Amino acid sequence: MCGRFTLSAPTERLADEFDIPNPPALPPRYNIAPTQLIAAVALKPDGEHRGIVRVPWGMVPAWADDPNAAPRLFNARAESVAFKFGECFRERRCLIPADGFYEWKAFGKKKHACHFSRADGGVFAFASLWDVWADEDVKLVGACMVTTTPNELVQPFHERMPVILPRENYKEWLDLETPEKRLLSLLKPYPAELMRAKQVGPAVNSSKNEGPACIEPRVSEAKDVTPALF
């Protein structure tokens, strides 16, 4: 599972990473939480060019009778995504740009957050889906990210991690002609040796907090709070 992430990269880096000329300016975000607006990269109606749109993080299931009562879907498991999200998985895939995500782990009586990112600090993309729930009066667009089993770096913190796609796989993921078998083969843990992890302070614990303080390193309060993997 992924419940918070960051996207603080400047617009020009997003333009280069996702091959999108003149993308909309996005403010740096350090504590993106479910239900909030996020950036999503998808193919335009021409099926060739990419664009960035802002949509809520969380999809209303297409089968829901009442969108106000239905749970929002923030994550989709890789092992069942083709079955549970059939048409959506085949026809409405997108990329969620990010430069890090958070997970929490208990050390003693307290939980501390860890920020995971690429080892080179670069921008990356979560393999994601988008969908629309609509009736005569309402149209609700949303997105969710696909999760998989964790790599060796994330595993001590959580049993799931978001699927991070390498840049060379962006085209395949967005292309509607990519075979399902190939799509499923992309849904695997990102190599641990290409990532880094950093314990951060308590600012990120509240989704109301924003700003660079959320990714500032945590000052240890006791000898037993820093896991061996750091």
Q: What is the pLDDT of residue 66?
A: 81
Task: Give the up-direction half-sphere exposure of residue 98: CA atoms within 13 A in the CB hemisphere.
Answer: 30
Domains assigned to the chain: 5-103+121-196 (3.90.1680.10)
| Stretch 5-20: mean pLDDT | 93
Over the stretch 126-145, which tens digit does the pLDDT of each residue have?
999 999 888 777 788 999 99
* Tokens linked to 20: 């999108």
Q: Quote the CA–CA distance of 106 and 93 in Å, as a whole number.
A: 34
Q: What values do phi and psi take at 169, rounded to 5?
A: -105, -5
Over the stretch 154-193, which tens digit does the pLDDT of each residue have?
999 999 999 999 999 999 999 999 999 999 999 999 999 9
Q: What is the pLDDT of residue 38?
A: 96
Q: What is the pLDDT of residue 226?
A: 37
CA-closest candidate to residue 77, choices 171, 166, 149: 149
Question: pTM here?
Answer: 0.91
* Tokens linked to 60: 């209303």
Over the stretch 140-162, which tens digit does the pLDDT of each residue have?
899 999 999 999 999 999 999 99
Q: Which residues are CB-contacts of 83 (< 8 A; sequence separation ≥ 6)?
A: none
**What residues act catalytically?**
2, 103
Q: Quote the CA–CA distance of 192 and 118 in Å, as a whole number.
A: 9
Q: Quote the CA–CA distance of 170 and 202 in Å, as a whole number.
A: 34
> What confidence tier does 69 reach under pLDDT thresholds 50, 70, 90?
confident
| Stretch 111-120: mean pLDDT | 94
Output helix, strand, coil percentages for the chain, rounded to the nearest 5: 20, 35, 45
Q: At 45, which helix (H) or strand (E)?
A: none
Task: Mean pLDDT check: name the lowest of 37-46, 112-121, 171-180, 220-229.
Answer: 220-229
| Stretch 67-91: mean pLDDT | 90
Is the separation of the CB atoms in 170 and 164 below 8 Å?
no
